[in-house]
Each structure stands twice: as C-alpha cells, then as structure tokens.
Structure 1
Amino acid sequence: MGDPAVLAADLIAEGAPVAIGLDLPLGLPRAWAAARPEPGFPDFLRALPENPAFLQVSESLDTVSPARPFYPARGLRGMTRAAHAAALGMAGPEHLSRLCDRATAERPAGAPVFWTLGANQSGKAAIAAWRDWIGPALAAGAPLRLWPFEGPLAALLRPGVAVLAETYPAEAMRQLGIRFPGSKRAQAARRAAAPALRAAMARLRVVPVPALAAAIDGGLGADAAGEDRVDSLLGLLCVVSVLDGTRPDFIPADPWVRRWEGWVLGQTALPRPPPPPA
C-alpha cells in the first residue's frame, strides 16, 4: 500500500468522495480523556505531534502515567491490566476500555487502546497510525474528517475530503454473517470461508476483480499476512454496507462517544453492562 498519507492524497485527487475504514482505534477512553483540556479526540490528534512522549510505550509500570499511558513494551511477570489501570489513576481495568471496546451479545470484547502486548491488542496500530500519518496530517491541515466525531458518514462525504472511520474485523464478521471454521490466521479456515465471503460481496453488489476472486478462493495466501488481507476485506465490506444503507450509520447518543471515544462503523449492538463488583 505504501505511505497511507500518499494513498489518501491520491484518492482525494481523483475527485470523488473518499471513505477509508481503519482497523485501529480512533478514540480514547473517557476515564483518561476526562482530564484533558482539548474538546475532543480530533483536536487531541491535531496537537499530538507536539507531544511525542505520549506515544512512547513504557517498559514497566514505573513510567506509566496519564501523560505516557501505553504499556507494556514486553512481557513481564505479574503484569495485569488492573495494575495498568491503577498506574493511570483509574478505579479498575474496565475503565481502560472505550464503550465500543466492550463485549456485546454479538461479539467478544476488543482490547483496550493503551494495551500493546499480545495478539489481542490494538495499541501498536494506534501508535503507528496516529504518529506517522493522522496526527501530522491533521496538524498540517490535510482534508481528513473523522467519523463519528465530526458527524454522520454521509454528511462528511464530499469531493476533496477523505473520511476516516474505525472498523473492527470481529464486528464486521457478525455484520456480514461470515464464520470461519477455526482461526482466520489459518489459510484452511480462510479458504473454507471463501463461499461466505463471496456471498456477502454478492449481496452488497461488490464485484471482485479476477485476482481478488482467485485470492479469496485460495484463502488469501499462505503467508502470515493472509489474516491481514482478510481483515482488510472485511473492513472494506463493512464500509460498503454502511455507504449503501445495508447497515445503519449508528452512533450512540452519548457525548463521550461523540467527542472522545468514537465508535465502530456499522455496529448497532450496545455493549453488555460491566459485571457487578465482587
């Protein structure tokens, strides 16, 4: 794909409205954001290039703070999300999560934004995208708009602008009615899911070019990037389903979601309530 800033600029230059789904967090948890001076997440990102220390991952809890919340850089004995939350001054680990990170009746929970270790984490993707592309682009006045912070998707789409929206493969799978017989990290599972993927594309009137059709039928490759390819396809189909009205452009009527936490495109299920205290 190359430099995402170049890709976005090239797409904008084609003259049509542009919507880009990103498999990474666009938003920050309300328990952290409550102490921030900015009015919302887009303004925070715009100022982020002036605060590079925020994105440095802490090796240990000794250096974790609201000003440097990402953790851990590597596995450590006794490492827990409860200790991470405590180091950030939060009352418990549930406060590390945004509303859209929590489990729903339709899918399991996603990882908290600030967590950077293991397969179930999204912190490293957030750091890379915010540091290397979105923050500098917004600071430089690039024509990017962030859904849902700046309004509904259709209202933001216009020529000369790229709208960025968060997608989540586990959510997109449920939206599209796709199941993998086993882990989607395995080529065999991806190959077995090819008919369901092709059927979802047909329902959305998405016609794959021959190379993509062949790749889907072959499980999107035998290498480790096969999972990334299928996640990209799921995210793309999620964006298409909202653009053509198959899925609603739902945004909870929660001011924290709309200003700071963000939401997952196409998600309509509200999270399960957190468990009662022990």
Structure 2
Amino acid sequence: MAWRGPADESETGMIAAHADWSMAPGKRWMALAERRGAIWHAQAPRLVGDTAQLLPGLLADGRPVALGLDLPLGVPRDWAAGRAEVDFPQFLAGLVARPEFFRVAATLAEVSAAQPFYPARGIKGMTRASHAAALGLAGPAGLSRLCDRATALRPAGAPVFWTLGANQSGKAAIAAWRDWIAPALAAGAPVSFWPFAGPLHGLLAPGRVALAEVYPAEALRQLGLKLAGSKRMQTPRRALAPALRAAMERLRVEPSAALAAELENGFGADAAGEDRLDCVLGLLALVAVLDGARPDHIPDDPWIRRWEGWVLGQTDLPYGMSG
C-alpha cells in the first residue's frame, strides 16, 4: 500500500511511541517519534521511568499520541464469557478495586476466574491443560486469544494468564495493568484503546493517547526484516542495521544522531540491547499503520472487538479462522 500521509492537519504534529514492557523497570524501554509534515523524527530509546509520569509526559504539549505496547491488551473469549462488564477496557478499569486478581497462583487449587494468573513457580507435572481446567475452560486452546494463536507465518504466542518461562506475557500484563493502566483509567486519564474503541485514526485527538498492542516479533515480519541469529546477541542486531535504515527511509522516519549510532552499534552490548531493538521495531510498525503502509486491520469478530483485542498491523489469521 502506498504511503497515505496524515489523515488531517491535526495529525501532522502528533507523537508516536512504543514501549517494550517488563516486570523489571530496567527492561522497560520506549522509542518515540514526532511527525513534522511528512517526516517522522525519531529519538533514541530511553527508559520508561516512573510509570505515573508516562502519560502526562507524552501529553505535555497537548498533541495526539499513539502509543504501542508490547503486552496483552485483552483477555481470551472463553474466560470472558459471562462477565458483567461491557468490554475489556471497562473490565480493566475495575481491576483497581480488585488487587487480588493479580496474585499469581502457586498451585492449581488457588486458580480461579478471580485469580487466573499461574504459576508462581515451576512445579513438576504442571500443564496448560490443567491450568485451563482449573479456570473451567474446555481445553488449553481456551487460554489463548485468537491473535495469540499460530498463523501460517509465525508460531503461537503465550496465553495471557501464563507467567512462567521465556515465552510468557503474563508478568508484563500484571506489571502494566496493575501498576499503571488501571490506576490511570481510575484517575480519568484521556486514554482510548484500539481496537475496542474503533480504528486507530478515529482515536487520534489532541490531548489524548491511543493505546494499541504491538508485538516486536510480528513487527519484524511486517517490516520485511529478518535477524541472522538471536536478538539477544549484539552481532545479529548490528548486522540488521542496513535493513533497519532502509525500512526507516521507506517509512519517512529520520533517526536522530543518537538513534543512528544505536543502529550501527547493534543497540549496545548490554542485556537491554534486545529491549532497545524491540521498542524501535514496535515504533516502526506503529508508524507503518499510522501512515497507511500497513492496514489498520481489525477482524470482523465481536469478541475481538470487545474482549480479545488484536495486534496492530497483523493481517494473518490463525489457523481455522477466516474472514
């Protein structure tokens, strides 16, 4: 798809940012870009810092803000079925009054709909099937949202409520929902959630933040990039620099001198280098949708639009899903 440009003049001064989230504050990095006319001016990744100041800082100038997050924004439909809330954002806002929801169960006996996160630590013989059964679900597939499931082009992601191992997102969900997003909603923060509130451009307004789920691994594929090795290693990250620069040129993203240096250096030799890469990948994927290089695709499924959510820019459907 050809570059579309701003939907209207109010978007020309907007901010796009992507935060790579973690339980550990030292692994929460954010990349930010400001659109001036047709060009995005991107800064080097920086630590998110005090989460209470994240939204006020992004909104300091009163401009529209699109913020991508590498964490689940939604819950599986089989778990949500029968809940009294209208949708996921309403459910999330109510969690500020239910801190017990975030207590990770140490045993299956502690798992319930009111305490779904599991396990607190590795236990011999534990399975996702037993986790699903403890939640009253028909099988382990019920733990996953459709956007978490495998497609023809990528493997499955981890279920929202699973908290163990390298391939899990439950801890990031807890850290963001409990410590930042739910309190911000309770305080009346000017936040809208994609896709629950509608297409992305319809959520962009001065003095408001549009939140969208963006996966760096999916972003890498959407951008047509491929790492020659593990993203945890500096050498493959450094080798990706020419392709990353080319992607930025295609998207009319102009890196600052500091960001250009980060690209050439493979985002550094420390353990947070992969996090800095991820937040830049997420930022570019967000810009691609904002400028029409990727479609703002939302499957026509009421559960996705009310409870499960979707990954921004993802057009590939899970196995067995059509439409």
Q: Please give the TM-score of this superposition, normalised by the length of structure 2.
A: 0.83
Q: Give the letter aligned to residue 221 of structure 2.
A: R
Q: Which residue of 2 aligns with 1:166?
A: 213
- Aligned pairs for 1:39-54 (under 5 A) are 39-54=86-101
Rounded to whole Å, the distance in 2 between the matches of 1:226 and 1:117 is: 22
Q: Which residue of 2 aligns with 1:122?
A: 169
Q: Which residue of 1 aligns with 2:225?
A: 178
Aligned length: 274
Identity of aligned residues (%): 70
Which of these residues, 134, 143, 150, is aligned with residue 87 of structure 1?
134
Rounded to whole Å, the distance in 2 between the matches of 1:68 and 1:240 is: 36
- Aligned pairs for 1:134-153 (under 5 A) are 134-153=181-200
Q: Does 1:250 align with 2:297?
A: yes
Answer 1 or 2: which has greater helix percent. 1
Answer 1 or 2: which has greater strand percent. 2
Q: Which residue of 2 aligns with 1:9?
A: 56
Rounded to whole Å, the distance in 1 between the matches of 2:145 and 2:129 is: 16
Q: Does 1:73 align with 2:123?
A: no
Once the two structures are superposed, residues 95-121 of structure 1 have per-residue CA deviations (whole angstroms, 9 ceiling, x without a partner) of 100010011112111110000011100
Q: Which residue of 2 aligns with 1:28?
A: 75
Q: Which residue of 1 aligns with 2:319?
A: 272
How far off is 1:183 after superposition?
1.1
Which of these residues, 206, 211, 215, is aligned with residue 262 of structure 2?
215
Q: Give the letter aligned to residue 106 of structure 1.
A: L
Secondary structure class of the residue paired with 1:19: strand
Rounded to whole Å, the distance in 2 between the matches of 1:175 and 1:257 is: 21
Q: Which residue of 2 aligns with 1:234?
A: 281
Q: Give the letter aligned to residue 216 of structure 2.
A: P
Once the two structures are superposed, residues 67-89 of structure 1 have per-residue CA deviations (whole angstroms, 9 ceiling, x without a partner) of 10001111110011111111111
Q: Which residue of 1 aligns with 2:148?
A: 101
Q: Does 1:157 align with 2:204?
A: yes
Give runs of ≥4 in structure 1 deviating > 2 Å. Answer: none
Rounded to whole Å, the distance in 2 between the matches of 1:180 and 1:198 is: 14
How far off is 1:13 after superposition?
2.3
Unaligned 5+ segments in structure 2 are 1-47
